[in-house]
Amino acid sequence: MKADNEQRMGLLYGMGAYGMWGLVPLFWPLLKPAGAVEILAHRMVWSLAVVGVALLVLRRWGWLRPLLRDPRKLGLITVAAAVITVNWGVYIWAVNAGQVVEASLGYFINPLVTIAMGVLLLKERLRPAQWTAVGVGLAAVLVLTVGYGRPPWISLVLAFSFAVYGLLKKKTNIGGLESLAAETAVQFLPALAYLLWLGSRGAADFGAHGAGHAALLAATGVVTAVPLICFGAAAIRVPLSTLGLLQYLAPVFQFLLGVLYFHEAMPAERWAGFSLVWLALTILTWDALRNARRTRAEAARLAAAARAAAAAGAAPQAPASPESATVRRPEPAA
């Protein structure tokens, strides 16, 4: 019963995290007339403040000293901070420039890009279904390139930057909240310097449009940290296969917002490209679920075999038969 409750809570946390990430396009336009770079700088500054408070409340500082003694991890975190800065900046600009649909495409194709990077960088071997999904994804990008009249660069930048960020996070192997704290600490000084420079020129929007607008800019830290905290709570309660399915909630919500709320154009060739992407993701999901079932079945078979072997080894020896217990007398010599 307790395990069921934990899984149910993990599912709610996961849906909350991806739901918030999916609805965040509604938030960034509220920050206008601030530009994308200023919004990005506020996001970095206020995210560190929010994460710092969370770490103080949770008293989770034990990771800091080992990190400071590890130059390799510090270097990886610095690169990760630079990569996620590009991702955040392009996403904020895309939403405020009316490109929500193309931004959602970036997170649809992100799993395909991650798989391709695994082959190219980590020399991973793909199953036939995964190769098929990657091929369909490439066809989708070509169709969308024809439809847009240019490569869907917003989608590609978002997908590749987030895939690289995920790879760096895997190599650093630090918890989500702690990793965000370290990354925003790297981002903090450049972001603060930029905001102070804007203020010195009288070009800053913070405080220039009332207390409500200033509060919204400060809330960028909450918008960044809260979904990540929910994701961390989900990751320890539900299987990775469940999280893998939940991750599609965010781009689905973003796509629906772009089409239904922001009324972005969806000509036939764009529908064709998105349909190919969804087909690739369907193949990928089907293959992942099938492989997970096979893995579970194999694990159950091995566990049953181990239990049977242990039971056989622990069984008492059968008593010797009377015939075997009888001592044979020597035959008389001829």
| Distance in angstroms (rounded) separating the CA atoms of residues 295 and 4 | 22
pLDDT band at 61 (very low <50, low <70, confident <90, very high): confident
| Ramachandran category for residue 326: left, alpha or beta (phi over 0 → left; psi -120 to 50 → alpha) | beta
Quick one: which of 185, 158, 216, 197 has its CA closest to 31? 216
| Ramachandran category for residue 319: left, alpha or beta (phi over 0 → left; psi -120 to 50 → alpha) | beta
pLDDT of residue 317: 52
| Contact indicator for 159, 106 with CB cutoff of 8 Å | yes
Q: Name which of 64-68, 171-175, 262-266 the model is least confident about.
A: 171-175
pLDDT of residue 175: 73
Q: Name which of 70-79, 217-226, 296-305 the model is least confident about.
A: 296-305
pLDDT digits (tens, 9 = 90+) for 109-146: 888 888 887 777 777 777 888 888 888 888 888 888 88
pLDDT digits (tens, 9 = 90+) for 226-244: 888 888 778 777 776 677 7
pLDDT band at 36 (very low <50, low <70, confident <90, very high): very high
pLDDT band at 327 (very low <50, low <70, confident <90, very high): very low
Quick one: which of 129, 99, 97, 101 has its CA closest to 115? 129
Quick one: which of 102, 97, 105 has its CA closest to 32? 97
pLDDT above 50 for 330: no
Alpha helices in 236-320 (DSSP H): 240-246, 249-256, 268-314
Q: Is the dihedral of CA 202, 204, 207, 210 positive or negative?
A: positive
pLDDT of residue 203: 83
Cβ neighbours around 236 below 10 Å, total = 10
Q: Which of 56-60, 223-227, 324-328 has the highest mean pLDDT?
A: 223-227
| Distance in angstroms (rounded) separating the CA atoms of residues 220 and 44 | 8
Could you give the percent of the chain with pLDDT greater than 70?
91
Q: Give the count of alpha carbons within 13 A of 319, CB side only.
A: 3
Amino acid found at 238: V
Cβ neighbours around 178 below 10 Å, total = 19
pLDDT of residue 316: 54
Q: Which two tokens stand for residue 178?
A: 């702690």
Q: Which two tokens stand for residue 48?
A: 């560190």
pLDDT band at 334 (very low <50, low <70, confident <90, very high): very low
| Three-state SS at 201 | coil
Average pLDDT in the 268-285 region? 88
pLDDT digits (tens, 9 = 90+) for 73-107: 899 999 999 999 999 999 999 999 999 999 999 98
Amino acid found at 23: L
Amino acid found at 155: S
Q: Which residue has the higher pLDDT, 316 or 6?
A: 6
pLDDT of residue 228: 82
Average pLDDT in the 189-206 region? 90
pLDDT digits (tens, 9 = 90+) for 139-148: 888 888 888 8
Determine if the pTM surpasses 0.85. no
Domain locations along the chain? 1-303
pLDDT above 60 for 325: no
Quick one: which of 167, 155, 153 has its CA closest to 116? 167
Provide the mean pLDDT of the chain.
Answer: 84
pLDDT above 90 for 30: yes
Quick one: which of 276, 245, 271, 247 has its CA closest to 258? 271
pLDDT above 70 for 322: no
pLDDT above 70 for 1: no
| Contact indicator for 80, 169 with CB cutoff of 8 Å | yes
- CA distances, 315 to each of 308, 309, 312, 318, 321 (Å): 11, 10, 5, 9, 18
Q: Which two tokens stand for residue 43?
A: 């996001």
| Distance in angstroms (rounded) separating the CA atoms of residues 223 and 84 | 15
Q: Give the count of alpha carbons within 13 A of 288, CB side only.
A: 17
Alpha helices in 152-267 (DSSP H): 153-172, 176-200, 211-218, 220-235, 240-246, 249-256
